[in-house]
């Protein structure tokens, strides 16, 4: 007898979509900014190390960026700018090389 599938409510589906999008855009950032000198954290979903420079291997990295999922998705898609998010305090960035504005947004932009 097949196992019954648990039906997900809309809030759970939205959470799964958010998780997938956060991880997708962090992976795109890894491709565009290869390196291991800055850790970008989007709790509770994921963290990646990016940006060329001195490689970090143990403990808390000297350069850390942390934000929530909604802000990360807004940055990745160009709905807000890096400088505005930092100014508004919805992104915390400490250490060298933590300005991600050269890499954002992560979506393709139309020239029109």
* Average pLDDT value for residue range 77-96: 95
Question: Is residue 30 domain-resident?
Answer: yes
Q: How many domains does the chain have?
A: 1
Question: Is residue 55 domain-resident?
Answer: yes
Secondary structure of residue 39 in the 3-state scheme: strand
Give residue 79's domain range: 10-103
Question: Is residue 94 domain-resident?
Answer: yes
Give yes or no for a contact between 45 and 69, defined as CB atoms under 8 angstroms apart. yes
Q: What is the pLDDT of residue 3?
A: 47
Question: Is residue 3 domain-resident?
Answer: no
pLDDT, one tens digit per residue, over 27-82 is 999 999 999 899 999 999 999 999 998 776 677 778 999 999 999 999 999 999 99
Bridge partners (DSSP) of residue 40 are 48, 65
Neighbours of 36 (CB within 10 A): 17
Question: Is residue 21 domain-resident?
Answer: yes
pLDDT above 80: residue 112:
no
């Amino acid at each position: 007898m097949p196992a019954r599938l648990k039906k997900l409510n809309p809030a759970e589906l939205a959470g799964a979509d958010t998780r997938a999008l956060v991880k997708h855009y962090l992976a795109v950032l890894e491709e565009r900014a290869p390196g291991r000198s800055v850790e970008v954290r989007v709790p509770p979903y994921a963290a990646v190390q990016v940006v060329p420079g001195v490689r970090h291997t143990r403990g808390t990295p000297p350069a850390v960026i942390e934000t929530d999922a909604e802000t990360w998705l807004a940055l990745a898609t160009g709905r807000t700018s890096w400088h505005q998010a930092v100014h508004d305090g919805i992104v915390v960035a400490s250490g060298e090389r933590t300005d991600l504005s050269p890499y954002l947004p992560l979506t393709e932009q139309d020239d029109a």
